[in-house]
Structure 1
Amino acid sequence: MTRRHHPDMPSGRRRGAYRLGLRAETLAALLLRLKGWRILARRYRAGGGEIDIIARRGGTIAFVEVKARAGRDQALASITPRARRRIASAARSWCAGREDLGAAALRFDAVLVLPWRLPEHIADAFPAPPD
Protein backbone atom coordinates (compact mmCIF):
# COMPACT_ATOMS: atom_id res chain seq x y z
CA MET A 1 0.00 0.00 0.00
CA THR A 2 1.35 3.38 -1.00
CA ARG A 3 1.04 6.21 1.46
CA ARG A 4 0.03 9.53 -0.07
CA HIS A 5 1.60 12.76 1.09
CA HIS A 6 0.59 16.35 0.79
CA PRO A 7 2.72 17.83 -2.05
CA ASP A 8 4.48 20.16 0.38
CA MET A 9 5.15 17.37 2.90
CA PRO A 10 8.51 15.66 2.52
CA SER A 11 8.76 11.99 3.28
CA GLY A 12 11.21 10.02 5.37
CA ARG A 13 13.77 11.64 7.64
CA ARG A 14 12.94 15.19 6.61
CA ARG A 15 9.44 15.00 8.05
CA GLY A 16 10.60 16.01 11.55
CA ALA A 17 12.42 19.06 10.20
CA TYR A 18 9.35 19.96 8.15
CA ARG A 19 7.12 19.81 11.23
CA LEU A 20 9.61 21.81 13.28
CA GLY A 21 9.59 24.46 10.55
CA LEU A 22 5.80 24.62 10.53
CA ARG A 23 5.71 25.00 14.31
CA ALA A 24 8.35 27.73 14.15
CA GLU A 25 6.37 29.58 11.47
CA THR A 26 3.22 29.32 13.57
CA LEU A 27 5.03 30.75 16.62
CA ALA A 28 6.51 33.52 14.47
CA ALA A 29 3.09 34.42 13.05
CA LEU A 30 1.63 34.51 16.57
CA LEU A 31 4.45 36.78 17.76
CA LEU A 32 3.95 39.13 14.84
CA ARG A 33 0.18 39.28 15.41
CA LEU A 34 0.76 40.10 19.08
CA LYS A 35 3.03 42.94 17.93
CA GLY A 36 0.24 44.35 15.75
CA TRP A 37 1.19 42.87 12.38
CA ARG A 38 -1.45 41.53 9.99
CA ILE A 39 -0.40 38.32 8.27
CA LEU A 40 -0.97 38.66 4.52
CA ALA A 41 0.49 35.32 3.43
CA ARG A 42 2.34 32.29 4.73
CA ARG A 43 4.63 30.01 2.76
CA TYR A 44 4.36 32.11 -0.39
CA ARG A 45 6.21 30.52 -3.32
CA ALA A 46 7.09 32.23 -6.58
CA GLY A 47 10.06 33.42 -8.58
CA GLY A 48 12.18 30.45 -7.54
CA GLY A 49 11.94 31.25 -3.85
CA GLU A 50 9.72 31.08 -0.80
CA ILE A 51 8.75 33.62 1.83
CA ASP A 52 7.76 32.14 5.18
CA ILE A 53 5.53 35.06 6.21
CA ILE A 54 4.42 38.29 4.56
CA ALA A 55 3.06 40.74 7.11
CA ARG A 56 1.86 44.34 7.19
CA ARG A 57 1.72 46.90 9.95
CA GLY A 58 0.72 50.41 8.98
CA GLY A 59 2.79 51.49 6.01
CA THR A 60 5.34 48.68 6.29
CA ILE A 61 5.34 45.31 4.60
CA ALA A 62 7.79 42.75 5.95
CA PHE A 63 8.96 39.65 4.13
CA VAL A 64 9.84 37.44 7.07
CA GLU A 65 12.27 34.53 7.10
CA VAL A 66 11.74 32.16 10.05
CA LYS A 67 14.65 30.12 11.36
CA ALA A 68 14.48 27.48 14.08
CA ARG A 69 17.95 26.54 15.29
CA ALA A 70 19.72 25.56 18.49
CA GLY A 71 21.48 28.91 18.76
CA ARG A 72 21.07 32.51 17.63
CA ASP A 73 24.32 32.60 15.65
CA GLN A 74 23.36 29.39 13.82
CA ALA A 75 19.96 30.83 12.96
CA LEU A 76 21.42 34.05 11.59
CA ALA A 77 24.13 32.22 9.65
CA SER A 78 21.52 30.02 7.99
CA ILE A 79 20.12 33.05 6.14
CA THR A 80 22.75 32.75 3.44
CA PRO A 81 23.27 35.12 0.50
CA ARG A 82 21.66 32.50 -1.76
CA ALA A 83 18.62 32.30 0.55
CA ARG A 84 18.39 36.09 0.56
CA ARG A 85 18.37 36.20 -3.24
CA ARG A 86 15.61 33.59 -3.38
CA ILE A 87 13.51 35.44 -0.80
CA ALA A 88 14.00 38.72 -2.70
CA SER A 89 12.97 37.04 -5.95
CA ALA A 90 9.77 35.76 -4.37
CA ALA A 91 9.15 39.23 -2.85
CA ARG A 92 9.47 40.85 -6.29
CA SER A 93 6.94 38.35 -7.66
CA TRP A 94 4.54 39.04 -4.79
CA CYS A 95 4.79 42.81 -5.32
CA ALA A 96 4.39 42.68 -9.11
CA GLY A 97 1.14 44.25 -10.23
CA ARG A 98 -0.08 45.04 -6.72
CA GLU A 99 -1.66 48.45 -6.69
CA ASP A 100 -2.57 48.25 -3.00
CA LEU A 101 1.04 48.71 -1.91
CA GLY A 102 1.05 52.45 -2.49
CA ALA A 103 4.05 53.96 -0.77
CA ALA A 104 4.51 51.05 1.61
CA ALA A 105 8.01 50.54 2.96
CA LEU A 106 9.28 47.07 2.10
CA ARG A 107 11.80 45.27 4.27
CA PHE A 108 13.25 41.84 5.01
CA ASP A 109 12.83 40.69 8.61
CA ALA A 110 13.69 37.50 10.44
CA VAL A 111 12.14 35.66 13.34
CA LEU A 112 14.51 33.36 15.21
CA VAL A 113 12.95 30.49 17.11
CA LEU A 114 15.36 29.05 19.68
CA PRO A 115 14.77 26.35 22.30
CA TRP A 116 13.37 27.58 25.62
CA ARG A 117 13.20 31.21 24.51
CA LEU A 118 10.56 33.49 23.14
CA PRO A 119 10.90 34.00 19.37
CA GLU A 120 13.04 37.01 18.45
CA HIS A 121 11.83 39.37 15.73
CA ILE A 122 14.65 41.18 13.93
CA ALA A 123 13.47 44.11 11.81
CA ASP A 124 15.56 44.79 8.68
CA ALA A 125 17.50 41.59 9.26
CA PHE A 126 19.13 41.90 5.86
CA PRO A 127 19.13 44.40 2.99
CA ALA A 128 17.41 43.69 -0.30
CA PRO A 129 19.90 41.86 -2.50
CA PRO A 130 20.55 43.36 -5.95
CA ASP A 131 18.45 41.98 -8.81
Structure 2
Amino acid sequence: MTQAAERRRRTFSYGQRAEWIALLFLLSKGYRPLAWRFSAAGGEIDLIVARGRTVAFVEVKARSAMDDALVAIGAAKRRRFARAARAWLSRHPWTAGMTWRADAVFVAPRRWPRHVEAAFELEIA
Protein backbone atom coordinates (compact mmCIF):
# COMPACT_ATOMS: atom_id res chain seq x y z
CA MET A 1 0.00 0.00 0.00
CA THR A 2 1.38 3.42 -0.89
CA GLN A 3 2.03 6.01 1.77
CA ALA A 4 -0.81 8.20 0.45
CA ALA A 5 -3.25 5.28 0.44
CA GLU A 6 -2.30 4.37 4.00
CA ARG A 7 -2.84 7.98 5.11
CA ARG A 8 -6.31 8.03 3.47
CA ARG A 9 -7.21 4.77 5.19
CA ARG A 10 -6.13 6.10 8.61
CA THR A 11 -8.01 9.36 8.07
CA PHE A 12 -11.16 7.50 7.03
CA SER A 13 -10.93 5.21 10.07
CA TYR A 14 -10.39 8.20 12.39
CA GLY A 15 -13.46 9.90 10.89
CA GLN A 16 -15.60 6.80 11.37
CA ARG A 17 -14.58 6.54 15.03
CA ALA A 18 -15.40 10.22 15.51
CA GLU A 19 -18.88 9.69 14.03
CA TRP A 20 -19.52 6.82 16.46
CA ILE A 21 -18.32 8.94 19.37
CA ALA A 22 -20.58 11.79 18.23
CA LEU A 23 -23.57 9.45 17.85
CA LEU A 24 -23.09 7.97 21.33
CA PHE A 25 -22.71 11.46 22.77
CA LEU A 26 -25.94 12.64 21.09
CA LEU A 27 -27.79 9.50 22.24
CA SER A 28 -26.76 10.33 25.81
CA LYS A 29 -28.37 13.77 25.31
CA GLY A 30 -31.67 12.21 24.27
CA TYR A 31 -31.39 12.37 20.48
CA ARG A 32 -32.53 9.45 18.35
CA PRO A 33 -30.77 8.59 15.08
CA LEU A 34 -32.61 8.97 11.78
CA ALA A 35 -29.75 8.53 9.31
CA TRP A 36 -26.00 8.05 9.21
CA ARG A 37 -23.79 9.17 6.34
CA PHE A 38 -26.63 10.39 4.17
CA SER A 39 -25.32 11.34 0.75
CA ALA A 40 -27.26 13.14 -2.00
CA ALA A 41 -27.11 16.12 -4.34
CA GLY A 42 -23.32 16.26 -4.14
CA GLY A 43 -23.24 16.59 -0.37
CA GLU A 44 -23.03 14.38 2.69
CA ILE A 45 -24.45 14.65 6.19
CA ASP A 46 -22.64 12.63 8.83
CA LEU A 47 -25.61 12.18 11.19
CA ILE A 48 -29.28 13.10 11.15
CA VAL A 49 -30.87 12.95 14.59
CA ALA A 50 -34.11 14.08 16.22
CA ARG A 51 -35.18 15.14 19.67
CA GLY A 52 -38.71 16.28 20.29
CA ARG A 53 -39.87 18.39 17.33
CA THR A 54 -36.33 19.17 16.14
CA VAL A 55 -34.38 17.45 13.37
CA ALA A 56 -30.65 18.14 13.58
CA PHE A 57 -28.38 17.62 10.58
CA VAL A 58 -24.99 17.04 12.17
CA GLU A 59 -21.53 17.61 10.77
CA VAL A 60 -18.86 15.72 12.72
CA LYS A 61 -15.34 17.12 12.67
CA ALA A 62 -12.41 15.26 14.16
CA ARG A 63 -9.08 16.97 14.52
CA SER A 64 -6.02 16.49 16.68
CA ALA A 65 -6.85 19.76 18.47
CA MET A 66 -10.32 21.08 19.31
CA ASP A 67 -9.53 24.57 17.97
CA ASP A 68 -8.70 23.06 14.57
CA ALA A 69 -12.05 21.25 14.53
CA LEU A 70 -13.96 24.44 15.33
CA VAL A 71 -12.84 26.20 12.14
CA ALA A 72 -13.07 23.20 9.80
CA ILE A 73 -16.53 23.86 8.30
CA GLY A 74 -16.04 26.23 5.38
CA ALA A 75 -18.54 27.91 3.04
CA ALA A 76 -18.30 25.24 0.31
CA LYS A 77 -18.92 22.48 2.86
CA ARG A 78 -21.97 24.37 4.21
CA ARG A 79 -23.43 24.68 0.68
CA ARG A 80 -22.99 20.95 -0.06
CA PHE A 81 -24.39 20.13 3.38
CA ALA A 82 -27.51 22.26 2.75
CA ARG A 83 -28.09 20.57 -0.64
CA ALA A 84 -28.00 17.16 1.02
CA ALA A 85 -30.33 18.38 3.80
CA ARG A 86 -32.84 19.63 1.22
CA ALA A 87 -32.70 16.23 -0.52
CA TRP A 88 -33.28 14.39 2.76
CA LEU A 89 -36.19 16.65 3.71
CA SER A 90 -37.82 16.16 0.30
CA ARG A 91 -37.78 12.39 0.94
CA HIS A 92 -39.24 12.73 4.45
CA PRO A 93 -42.36 14.93 4.26
CA TRP A 94 -43.34 13.99 7.83
CA THR A 95 -40.72 16.52 9.01
CA ALA A 96 -42.56 19.49 7.45
CA GLY A 97 -43.86 20.88 10.75
CA MET A 98 -40.61 20.39 12.63
CA THR A 99 -37.67 22.66 13.39
CA TRP A 100 -34.59 21.96 11.25
CA ARG A 101 -31.11 22.80 12.42
CA ALA A 102 -27.48 22.40 11.33
CA ASP A 103 -25.48 21.21 14.32
CA ALA A 104 -21.86 20.22 14.67
CA VAL A 105 -20.04 17.83 16.96
CA PHE A 106 -16.33 18.44 17.34
CA VAL A 107 -14.14 15.55 18.45
CA ALA A 108 -10.52 15.72 19.59
CA PRO A 109 -8.36 13.18 21.43
CA ARG A 110 -8.64 13.11 25.23
CA ARG A 111 -11.45 15.70 25.19
CA TRP A 112 -15.20 15.41 25.61
CA PRO A 113 -17.02 15.91 22.31
CA ARG A 114 -18.40 19.41 21.88
CA HIS A 115 -21.96 19.66 20.50
CA VAL A 116 -22.81 23.03 19.00
CA GLU A 117 -26.50 23.50 18.24
CA ALA A 118 -27.22 25.66 15.18
CA ALA A 119 -23.49 25.76 14.42
CA PHE A 120 -24.17 27.38 11.06
CA GLU A 121 -27.07 28.62 8.97
CA LEU A 122 -28.98 25.83 7.23
CA GLU A 123 -29.99 27.37 3.91
CA ILE A 124 -33.01 25.29 2.97
CA ALA A 125 -35.06 27.73 0.87
Paired residue for 2:22, among 18, 28, 36?
28
Where structure 2 has 5 or more consecutive residues not aligned to the other structure, the ranges are none
TM-score by length of 1: 0.87
Give the alignment's TM-score, normalised by structure 2: 0.91
- Could you list the per-position Cα deviations for residues 55-96 of structure 1 after superposition, in whole angstroms to 9, with x for gaps in the alignment? 000000000000001222211211000000010000000000
Structure ranking higher in helix proportion: 2
Residue in 1 that maps onto 2:46: 52
Letter in 2 for 1:65: E
User: Any gaps of 5 or more consecutive residues in structure 1?
Assistant: 1-10
Query: How many equivalent residue pairs?
Result: 123
1:118–1:86 distance in 2 versus 1, CA, 3 Å:
same
Question: 1:43 maps to what in 2?
Answer: 37
> How large is the RMSD of aligned CA atoms in angstroms?
1.8
Specify the alignment match of 2:76 in structure 1. Answer: 82
Kindly indicate whether the alpha-carbon contact (under 8 Å) linking 2:86 and 2:124 is maintained by their aligned counterparts in 1. Answer: no
In structure 1, how many angstroms separate the alpha carbons of the residues matched to 2:124 and 2:68? 24
Q: What is the percent sequence identity of the aligned residues? A: 47
Q: Which amino acid aligns with 2:34?
A: L
